[in-house]
């Protein structure tokens, strides 16, 4: 590649074509519109909105966020405006902004997930539905849908039958075999898997002797989880044929490139948006600069090129 040729950043997640492989992760980017003052939302590969439920949800009482070394714990409790307000108020503005947007959804029962997916399916501008399966199934004693292959499979099949939109299943890292969970999602009809969601963690105050979060436990995110996320994304890439989207602790272009190298089709950036609202843009630019410097023509050419010990580069 000649130095003046700009690398092709386009990425594909199944049937969905993205202008670049960088998306914002659910829950760290509001409904997208909050970030419009910082940059043109249409420059993102896609943005994933805060998890939507059938009814508006107020979430947990404070304290809901705690900083940890190299990360943060959150127990927001899935606060959101509900699917109807999203459709009426946020979606038209995202359309006007030219944003490619993905709706992250959750429910307490399979029926609730299905109902939310059905309501969203009529939105012409919606690029995909991402199922947050890290939620307790109230009909199964509160065990998270995504913690057993059966729970994951049943939910995915049900939502798959309810929508023609691309269906992404966001896997929980709080399992023993993430490859098996990815396969369960693939077999049940998912178009892609995205991972990882947060790792369950806890922080206590030694002086007051109390948990720092009102919910006691919360989800760990940020740089602290990146090595775990990368390993799980690599395992998922080996386990399934459908696209894998890498998430977890990505702060820089180099972090994103690691996920692409192990086979991810695209990445999502979460906690980094809190520290630096321009994080996604800087990562997109950084990937472009890296590919140009290394004389690599496209993201697609670089993707999945991990060299394991004993393997030789081309």
Ligand X SMILES: Cc1cc2nc3c(=O)[nH]c(=O)nc-3n(C[C@H](O)[C@H](O)[C@H](O)COP(=O)(O)O)c2cc1C
**Nearer to ligand X by C-beta: 54 or 272?**
272
Q: Taking CB under 6 A as the rule, does residue 218 contact ligand X?
A: no
- Is residue 135 annotated as a catalytic residue, yes or no? yes
The residue from 135, 181, 224, 280 that is catalytic is: 135
Q: Of the two residues 26 and 153, which places its CB atom closer to ligand X in the complex?
A: 26
Q: Is 172 in the site for ligand X (CB under 6 A)?
A: no
* Residues across the chain: 314
With respect to ligand X, which residue has the nearer C-beta, 105 or 188? Answer: 105
Residue selected from 76, 202, 281, 292 as contacting ligand X according to rule CB under 6 A: 76
Q: CA nearest 305: which of 256, 263, 267?
A: 263
Beta strands in 2-83 (DSSP E): 11-13, 16-18, 22-24, 46-52, 65-68, 71-74
Chain positions 246 to 285 lying near ligand X, rule: CB under 6 A, are 247-250, 269-272
Q: Does 51 bind ligand X (CB under 6 A)?
A: yes
CB closer to ligand X out of 57 and 298: 57
Distances (CA, A) of 2 to 90, 198, 257, 265, 313: 43, 41, 22, 25, 21
Distance CA 63, CA 215 (A): 8
- Spell out the residues 6+ positions from residue 35 whose beta carbon is closer than 8 angstroms to its own: 24, 29, 41, 47, 273, 277
Q: How far is the CB of 153 from ligand X (least distance, A)?
A: 18
Q: Residue 220 corresponds to which tokens in the numbers above? A: 């760990």
Residues that bind ligand X (CB under 6 A): 25-28, 50-51, 74, 76, 78, 104, 132, 170, 197-198, 221-222, 225, 247-250, 269-272
């Amino acid at each position: 590649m000649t130095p003046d040729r700009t690398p092709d950043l386009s990425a594909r997640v199944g049937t969905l074509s993205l202008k670049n492989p960088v998306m914002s992760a659910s829950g760290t980017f509001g409904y997208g519109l909050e970030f419009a003052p910082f940059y043109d939302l249409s420059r993102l590969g896609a943005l994933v909105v805060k998890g939507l439920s059938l009814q508006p949800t107020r979430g947990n009482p404070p304290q809901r966020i705690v900083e940890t070394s190299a990360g943060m714990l959150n127990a927001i409790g899935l606060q959101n405006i509900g699917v109807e307000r999203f459709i009426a108020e946020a979606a038209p503005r995202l359309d006007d902004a030219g944003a490619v947007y993905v709706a992250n959804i959750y429910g307490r029962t399979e029926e609730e997930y299905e109902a939310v997916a059905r309501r969203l399916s009529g939105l012409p501008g919606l690029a995909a539905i991402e199922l947050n399966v890290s939620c307790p199934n109230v009909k199964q004693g509160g065990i998270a849908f995504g913690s057993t292959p059966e729970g994951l499979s049943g939910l995915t099949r049900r939502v798959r039958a309810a929508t023609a939109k691309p269906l992404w299943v966001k896997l929980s890292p709080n399992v023993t075999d993430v490859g098996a969970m990815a396969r369960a999602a693939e077999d049940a009809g998912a178009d892609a898997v995205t991972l990882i969601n947060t790792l369950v963690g806890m922080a206590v105050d030694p002086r007051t002797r109390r948990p720092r979060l009102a919910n006691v436990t919360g989800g760990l995110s940020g740089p602290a989880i990146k090595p775990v996320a990368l390993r799980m994304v690599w395992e998922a890439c080996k386990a399934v044929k459908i696209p894998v989207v890498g998430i977890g602790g990505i702060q820089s272009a180099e972090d994103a490139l690691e996920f692409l190298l192990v086979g991810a089709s695209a990445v999502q950036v979460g906690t980094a948006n809190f520290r630096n609202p321009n994080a996604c843009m800087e990562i997109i630019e950084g990937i472009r600069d890296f590919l140009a410097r290394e004389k690599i023509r496209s993201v697609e050419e670089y993707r999945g090129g991990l060299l394991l010990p004993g393997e030789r580069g081309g």
